[in-house]
Structure 1
Amino acid sequence: MGTDGRIITKEWLTGLNSNMGSALFKGLFYTTAPSGIAVVDVEKAAVIKQILIDSIGRLNDVAVDSRGVVYVSDTRTGKVYRVENEKAILYLENMSGANGLLTVNDDLYVITTNTLYKVNANKKVTKVADGFENGLDGIVMVSPNEFIVSNYTGILYYVKADGSKELLLDTRADRLMANDISYDSKTKTLYVPVFNRNRIIAYQVK
């Protein structure tokens, strides 16, 4: 799709199944599948490898850091896996409902059912903000230490650097979900997939 909402290629890639999270890194598109991660060559529009992850849960979101290390959340088991050199190891556990992931420098941010955590390179876990309604899904950073967090039921929150939060948007009355969000810092545009309506809504962030 173009940033104007126009569909460029309707079936850019086929043959995948039940994919949820995704991330781009140096021409590669990573997306979760039930058994692991599919790695797609963007230019060729082809799956070039499958990285298997030994999980009995439900793999969900993907994030890639500046070195190409991949992190994958498992929402059903509350775990996060770390994938390096095509090998997956258990990185975090006891992260109830682990979902949205975000890498910033050496830190990994993890969204659980109702809490936002920061995990540093030494795996020290710090609570950034909590008290959200159950159902957190996506996370983006819009300025240093400030975030927008989505709740799949149809809520967008703004999280400030001090951990306080404010409600930005609530579309539950219109039955518009708010799933795994993404953000264009150059145009200050927030993209919100609406899973139950087959839509993507773009919002200007001021």
Structure 2
Amino acid sequence: MKAIFKYPALALSASALLISCGPQKTETIVDEIVEVKTPTMTLLWETPDSLMTNESVLYDDATGKIYVANIEGQDPSEKDGKGSIAIISKDGKIVDPAWISGLNAPKGMAISDGKLYVTDIDELVEIDIATSRISNKWKVEGAQFLNDAAAHNGTVYFTDMRAGKVHSFTNGEIATISEGNESINGLAIGNDGTIYGLDASGLKMWDADGSTTVINSTVTGGDGLVILGDGNYIASRWKGEVYFANDSSETLMLDTQAAESNTADIGYNAAEKIIYVPTFFKNKVAAYKLDY
């Protein structure tokens, strides 16, 4: 699979004028400039620093709401009942700091059939969006550290980072669809149902037979994953990096390590090309305009 987008490049063909003796014959090659932009991220806004230990952001295309999963503690595997889901607006205002409370260490989120699904250590939590209530919880057998989530056509997919597994949830049933994925975290589903993930081997996709193909082996240990299309992706690393990547190259667009600001499970507004970055211990969400 070869990416259509290539960068950075500035191609300039030289003009040539060929003149021969005798009857004059002239051939001219017209100068042609082809410029491709290097992908960039420009800061638009930041929320106040009151979204405690925010790990994941999810943009709802249907409503324009932005959901933020807050662990509200130092230990992302502690069952302390302090976790919450907040709602922020598209201009960075905190609309509801504790829309849902009483969770433990909520992380990945996905929306399916009017429900918001949240991974919470060893449970998949179902929240009815219309009533703002937790409508169900499903214990995941053998779960160690549930993390990212994504949905497609009524099925919710989610990862268990420490167990190296990918699970699916359909009609109240949980199944394990893939094992042996070291440190699997970020997850995204293509329009055709293809599963993409980030683990210790890099950015990879699942083939129809259940095997996997590594697309980019440089962006390893990723956290959040966004499919842009045309073979291009955005991948974040928790330590403070956000990459633009494809099957042949990668560009580091954001590096906040010097500021000790993390870049956890990112969200994305595709219509406006805005990336929402949860900063974890900095307790705020930062929004960036993507230009590519």
Distance 1:179 1:198 in 2: 12
1:167 deviation in Å? 1.1
Q: CA RMSD in A?
A: 1.3
In structure 1, the partner of 2:169 is 83
Aligned residues: 203
Q: Provide the secondary structure at the position in 2 that maps to 1:187.
A: coil
Q: Provide the secondary structure at the position in 2 that maps to 1:20.
A: strand
Structure 2 residue 250 is the aligned partner of structure 1 residue 165: yes
Structure 2 residue 214 is the aligned partner of structure 1 residue 103: no
Q: Provide the secondary structure at the position in 1 that maps to 2:235.
A: strand
1:82 deviation in Å? 1.4
TM-score by length of 1: 0.94
Stretches (4+) displaced over 4 A: none
TM-score by length of 2: 0.67
Is 1:106–1:120's contact at 8 Å kept on the other side of the alignment?
no
Which residues in structure 2 correspond to 1:1-206 (within 5 Å)? 1-65=88-152, 67-104=153-190, 105-132=192-219, 135-160=221-246, 162-206=247-291
Distance 2:201 2:239 in 1: 13
1:114 deviation in Å? 4.8
Distance 1:2 1:12 in 2: 13
Deviation string 1:41-93 (CA, Å, 9 cap, x unpaired) is 1111101111221024111111111x211111010011111112211111111
Is 2:122–2:144's contact at 8 Å kept on the other side of the alignment?
no
Is 1:183–1:189's contact at 8 Å kept on the other side of the alignment?
yes
Q: Provide the secondary structure at the position in 1 that maps to 2:225.
A: strand
Q: Which amino acid aligns with 1:143?
A: G
Q: Give the % identical residues.
A: 30
Distance 1:183 1:10 in 2: 20
Bigger relative contact order, structure 1 or 2, given CA contacts below 8 A and separation 6+?
Answer: 2
Higher gyration radius (CA): 2
Distance 1:195 1:121 in 2: 35
1:189 deviation in Å? 0.3
1:188 deviation in Å? 0.7
Q: Provide the secondary structure at the position in 2 that maps to 1:44.
A: coil
Structure 1 gaps of 5+ residues are none
